[in-house]
Amino acid sequence: MENTCDGEYHFMRTTRVLTSIVSILLGFSLTSQAAPAVANTARDPQALIHGAVEELRMAIVHDKMAINKDPNRAITLVDRIVLPHVDTNRVGRLILGQHWRNATPEQRQQFVDNYRRLLLRTYAVHVSDYADVKVEYLSSGGTTNNSKRTVVRTRVSHAGNPASNVDYRMYLTANGWKVYDVAVTGISLVATFRAAVNSEINRYGLDGLIARLIEKNSRPLTH
């Protein structure tokens, strides 16, 4: 049988397997109303992550019934929370890897926009599952006065599942600390997605990958 079905299965399986990792990356940010707190915690990435977790948890609990009725509501919620505090362009550049260099500005933007949209949609279906997540903060590394990079280490537990070590790779910008990668039990989100995306591009080309992302994002969102 042709590899299109296999490719479709691999593409969606990769996305589903990484949903929990993606949710962590997308979820750790402050709401726009709480934006001033970023300045106060610019030198303390762990405090930023902690505040973001609680902010997201409260938002999910508050809107849980509405989200259960309409998962699109979660897309709006996460999109509003995430964008100011995750460097999606940097993440997209890292995921595309060698293909970023040869892509046109339009292709780069289309990839970043549509891949982010797919992750948001995937996360939205499961957003209520993360209302009861427990996070233990372990340590941070590399945060000297002159350091612009750090890793915030945590242990995340979901009800009925083993705890996972989750490391947040962050760097300091003029607008505060931003997440650009997450490693779960030592496995990098960026590296894992780069491998999956590279396979898709080798099979369909970059325009073909973007077209597939657009098509998936056009499907009705259901639980």
Model confidence band, residue 127 (pLDDT cutoffs 50, 70, 90): low
Average pLDDT over the chain, rounded to whole? 75
Which pLDDT does position 82 carry in this prediction?
A: 61
The answer to whether residue 27 scores a pLDDT higher than 60 is no
Please tell me the pTM assigned to this model.
0.75
The radius of gyration computed from the CA coordinates of the chain, to the nearest angstrom, equals: 17
DSSP E strand stretches across the chain: 134-141, 149-157, 164-173, 176-184, 187-188
pLDDT for 212 equals: 92
Asked whether the predicted pLDDT for residue 221 surpasses 80, the reply is: no
Of residues 68 and 18, more confidence is placed in: 68
Which range of 81-95, 97-111, 169-183 scores highest in mean pLDDT? It is 97-111
The answer on pLDDT for 3 being more than 60 is: no
Would you give the distance in Å from CA 214 to the centre of its chain?
18
Average pLDDT, integer, range 172-201 = 88
CA–CA dist 149, 141 (Å, integer) = 9
